[in-house]
A = this chain, B = another copy of it.
Amino acid sequence: MEDKKEITLLGAGLIGSLAAVYLTKQGYTVTIYERRPDMRKESISAGRSINLALSDRGWRGLAGAGVDTLIRDNAIPMYSRHIHNLDGSEINQAYGKENQAIYSISRRDINCLLMDAAEENGAKIFFNHRVTNYDINNNIITIEDATNKKTFQISPGLTIGSDGAFSSSRLGIQFTDRCNYSQTYLEHGYKELVIEAGPDNSFLIEKNALHIWPRGGYMLIALPNPEGSFTCTLFFPFEGNPSFSMLKTEADVLQFFEQQFPDALKLMPNLAHDFFANPTGSLVTVRCKPWSFNNKLLLIGDAAHAIVPFYGQGMNCGFEDCFTLNEMITKHAHNWSAIIHEFEALRKPAADGIAELALMNFIEMRDLVGSAKFLLRKKIEGAFYTKYPEKWQPLYTMVTFSHLPYHEALAMGKFQDTIMDKVMELPDIENIWNTQKVEDMMLQLLAESEKS
């Protein structure tokens, strides 16, 4: 297959913009068509952001393109999950070792910085340009320029679809024979809310933490912003009791928050207004196979594998796509048949892995993090990990602070769970957890598994 000198990207979101930096640095002429207006020039309606949490995979992806330092100034480290129980008690749980953190960043800030970087490296972004038809068999893409309503057609040598969960380029693949595809929605939606800053941009709750109000079937979370506010998200069922459908009036909302989130409510003066002014978002997992067609189109990021946000890995996974794609370009010396083949082989199982992990973590966040058994379990794992880091890494650490492929982390986590299940069944584990007996048991179970 011939080398490609020019590459067309569909979508200048987080993943498309970072991919453009990598590709221009690899010597390609890059053109991006973006459906939306340039967010650097226009105000975009708020209320649909879910603040992002950058972690090690994301940082590596940014660093590989030389753009991590741009981002770091705008990011706030969160060293712990800070849990707000219904009884008013609070628990601060470190995410990892000292100095290990995930970083709160606004989607808008990071996207603007990455667009700047893409353009500085020579990529050309056409905003307000929407794909209206994708004839995948003839490789003809019809694009409409919203500013003058004119359409034109292009036939790129290589198109990279970075156009998100509702990708129009993926549609082309979906209609080809033997494409496996699924879109699966949660019965929960989300609503963005805000905890206001205090005087002089002060933080009214712990700044360097991701706050969680776990309530079993639902939860509220909050991530810090540089100006002292927190972007909050309520993850909540659409139907049932309680649910979005039950909260019909401002009084309903205030009463519900008074009962369930009284400490947060005190810091949310605009809650009742925001609750009805902001849209209710839905949460989808998208699985697709293949991600490419005829070496002319390759999907990356959410277009290939949209996931729910509960492991904070959607952006990180997409940045890891960009990092791996860049590695493949170098490894296969711009042979795109080989690049696409190995990229899919490496990334598809990883994407399936993080999709499953993200669904699992919703249960953990909304339901388990507040329980004494869960905290004890994490404490035992943490102590063992500190002593035997080469034998055991907690699942959260593997996902968040390592580059182990997601599916391998998932498999290892499931295996470790079988050991922890046995440990937690020990009589009086609450009192003996820190004893040699427990440590020996874990070492023995690990040794047995190595033998078999």
Residues of A at the B interface (CB closer than 8 Å) are 174, 177-185, 238, 282
Contact = CB atoms under 8 A, between A and B. Distances in A.
A179 B181 CA distance: 13
A180 B181 CA distance: 11
Contact of A185 (B179, B184, B185, B238): B179
B177 A282 contact: yes
Contacts of A183: 174, 179-182
A137 B290 CA distance: 30
A181 B178 CA distance: 15
Nearest to A287: B182
Nearest to A280: B177
B178 A282 contact: yes
Interface pairs A-B: 3 shortest CB-CB? A182-B182, A178-B185, A178-B282
Nearest to A175: B166
Contacts of A185: 177-180
Nearest to A186: B178
16 contacts: A174-B183, A177-B185, A177-B282, A178-B238, A178-B282, A179-B183, A179-B185, A180-B182, A180-B183, A180-B184, A180-B185, A181-B182, A181-B183, A182-B182, A182-B183, A182-B184
A3 B137 CA distance: 44
A265 to B, nearest CB: 28
A411 B178 CA distance: 30
Nearest to A281: B177
Nearest to A177: B282
Contacts of A177: 185, 282
Nearest to A189: B178
A184 B289 CA distance: 10
A57 to B, nearest CB: 28
A179 B286 CA distance: 12
Nearest to A284: B178
Contacts of A238: 178
Contacts of A182: 180-184
A174 B170 CA distance: 14
A348 to B, nearest CB: 15
A172 to B, nearest CB: 13
A182 B282 CA distance: 18
Nearest to A184: B180
Contacts of A184: 180, 182
Contacts of A181: 181-183
A141 to B, nearest CB: 18
Q: Name the residue among A174, A183, A238 with the largest chain B CB count within 10 angstroms.
A: A183
Q: Name the residue among A178, A179, A238 with the largest chain B CB count within 10 angstroms.
A: A178
A244 to B, nearest CB: 12
